[in-house]
Amino acid sequence: MKLYGLKNCDSCRKALKALPEAQLVDVRGEGVPAEVLEQALEQFGDRLINTRSTTWRGLDEGQRAQPAKELLAAHPALMKRPLIVDGAAMWLGWDKDVQAALA
């Protein structure tokens, strides 16, 4: 199981604590593999972009209008976190539904 996120993200830390078998992949340093990003975009679409982040607020309208794949390639911290991947299954975020699904 891999958890794509940021090492200093509170949601990612909570998820890692609850999922000790998961391996954290820091998206700022290592990025998200292209095939994982493609699959996540197919499954979650624009929900993969965190529009409440400080990174998003720092973008101008032209940048915000770019396709999600290009935005995430240029600004990996824009991804909603964590993205949890276990084989072919994916979960996005760390809300009660995700916690229940992985319990």
Task: Catalogue the active-site residues.
Answer: 9
Rounded (5°) CA angle 46-52-55? 90
Distance of CA 63 to the CA centre of its chain: 19
Amino acid at 54: T
Is 23 in contact with 3 (CB distance < 8 Å)?
A: yes
Q: How is residue 41 written in tokens?
A: 């975009």
